[in-house]
Amino acid sequence: MMKNQWDVMDQGEKRRMNDKRKMLSRLKWLGLSLLAAGLILIAGWIMKLNDRSTGNPMIKDIMAKTGSYPSCPADLEGILTAPLMEPKYIYALTPLGNINPPGHTSPVDHIYFSTDYEGQIPLFAPADAWITSITVLSTNDGSGNYIQNGYVISYTVCDGLVLDFAQYNDIIPDLKAEIEKQSRSNCVYGIVKPGHDNAGEGQCYYNLSYPVKAGEQIGYVQAEETEWGLSLPFEIWAANYNVPVRSDVNWDFYNDDRYAHSFCLFDLYSGDLKEQYDQKFGGDNRFKPADDPTPDFVPRTVEPICGQVNQDLPGTIQGMWYGGEPGGKGDGLEFQGKGLAFLHNNIDPTQAELSIGGNFTSQAGAFMFTPNHSGTIDREPAEVTADGQIYCYNADSWSVHGKILVQLLDDHHLKVENQTGLCTGSEIFKNPFDYQR
C-alpha cells in the first residue's frame, strides 16, 4: 500500500478499538480513565488518513501554496465564520495527538467527532472558500464489486490554507454534477491497509475549483448504530503552508508535507462559536463498563485545549523515533511497525504514554503512566537526556508486557529494548534496537 491514501477504518479495527477501550476504562490516573487513550477510534467506518496526505498525486500541488487564490491574512483567527457542523450535534471532539499503533504510532494530526444524535447531520462550508478536490470512497463487497460509501472534501480558504473533511455520507447535487463531468481515470482500487479486515478499498480523485459561500450546505453525515452505540464517521484536518516547518525535526521520516504544517482547525474560529467548540474537547467515555464511575465526558483542561501533534523535544527522548532510515517508499517506517513515541496523553497531558509500533516488541501497543521527576523508573520523557543512564518503563498494557529500557545517546539516536519483569533501577541491555530521528 502506498503512502498518501485516505484510510477508512473497517469493522475489524473497530472491534479491536472497542476491546482496547473496555480494558483502558478499568484503569485510572488522577481520577481520569485511560479510556481516553483509545477514545477516538470508537467509530465505525471512521475516515482517517493513511497517515498522511491524500492519495491523488495531482492534489499535492493544490494543497500547498499555488498563487491561484487570495493571500491569507496575517491573523487567521476568525477567518472561519460559519459552523462546519453545528455544536449542538457534537457530543465530544477528540483533541489532536491521539495514538493507535502501529498505523498511528505518532500523534494524529486530525480531530475526531462523536455524537448522540441519530439523524442526518448537515455539514456546511465554514468560510467563503473553494472546494479544490473530492475523493469518492468505495469498499470491496468481497466479490470484486466496489460499493460507494462516502466522500472526502478539501477546501482552500486562502492561498496555502487547506482544510480536509471526511467523510460525507452524501453531497449536494451540484457537486456531484461537477465530478461527473470528469472521467473516472484517476482511481485506485484494491487498497489494503495493515490491521484492516476488509477485502480492499477504492478511491477516485477529482480536482476542481468550486467556489462556496460560508454557511452553504455541502452535504451531511449520519451516525451508525453499532454494538457499542452510535458511531460518527467524521473527522477533519487543517494545514497552513504559509508557516515554516520546524527546523529541528527531520521531516523525511514522515514522507508527508501536510503533517509538518498541521494545526488545530478550530483556532480559525473566534468568539462564541469558538467557545462552543472548545467546550467539546475531551474524552467520550459513554461506552465504558457499567461499573465504571468515570464521567461520560472528561474535558481536556490543559492548554492547548485542541491538543498537540508533534511533541518532539530536542535533547530528550520526548517525541517520535524511527527504527530505520528516512525517506523510504511504500508504507513507510510507521506502517511497518518501526515507530516509537514518548508522549503526553491527548486527553490528560499530565499523564505520559509510550506508543510502540512493534519491531522490538511482540506486537504493537501503547500504555500510560504517571511520570516521575526523579530516578530512572517511569521518568518524565522531557527529563530524560543523554546522561549515560538507562531508563526503564513498566509496560502496563494488554499487548506490551514487561519493561521498556531506553538510553538516549545524542539528539538523534537512542537504544531501546523490551525485557521481562519489572523495573529495578539497575537495568542493563541484552539485545537493544537502534532508533533515530
**In order along the chain (437 residues), what is the average pLDDT of each group of 10 residues?**
43 41 39 36 35 39 69 98 98 97 94 97 98 96 92 98 97 97 91 69 96 98 91 96 96 89 98 98 92 95 97 98 81 89 98 97 96 98 98 94 98 98 98 98
- 185 φ, ψ (degrees, to nearest 5): -75, -20
Q: Are residues 340 and 290 both part of a single domain? A: no
pLDDT score for 198: 64
3-state helix, strand, coil in the chain (%, to 5): 15, 35, 50
Together in a domain, 292 and 155: yes
The answer as to whether 15 is a domain residue is yes
Q: Phi then psi for 177, rounded to 5 degrees? A: -65, -35
- Block residue for cell numbers 470528469: 182
Residues 6+ apart with CB under 8 A from 145: none
Cis peptide before 95 (omega within 30 of 0): no
Verify that 292 and 372 share a domain, yes or no.
Answer: no
Q: Is residue 305 part of a domain?
A: no
296 and 353 together in one domain: no
Indicate if 287 and 348 belong to the same structural domain: no
Residue 358 lies in a domain: yes
Distance, in Å, from the CA atom of 359 to the CA atom of 56, rounded to the nearest integer, reads: 30
Could you give the 3-state DSSP secondary structure of residue 352? strand
Which structural domain, as residue segments, surrounds residue 269?
1-300
Q: Are residues 245 and 320 in the same domain?
A: no
The residue from 300, 321, 345 where one domain ends is: 300
The C-alpha cell at 164 is 480536509
Both 289 and 329 in a single domain?
A: no
281 lies in the same domain as 398: no
Q: Is residue 227 a part of any domain in this protein? A: yes
141 assigned to some structural domain: yes
Q: Can you say whether the dihedral through the CA atoms of 309, 313, 316, 322 is positive or negative?
A: positive
Domain end: 279, 300, 321, which one? 300
Residues 343 and 293 in one domain: no
Q: Which of 252, 269, 300 is the last residue of a domain?
A: 300
CATH code of 10's domain: 2.70.70.10
Q: Are residues 395 and 246 in the same domain?
A: no
335 and 271 in a single domain? The answer is no
Q: Are residues 282 and 329 in the same domain?
A: no
Hey, which residues does 377 pair with through a beta bridge?
A: 392
Domains: count for the chain:
2
Are the CB atoms for 324 and 336 separated by under 8 Å?
Answer: yes
Q: Report if residue 258 sits inside a domain.
A: yes
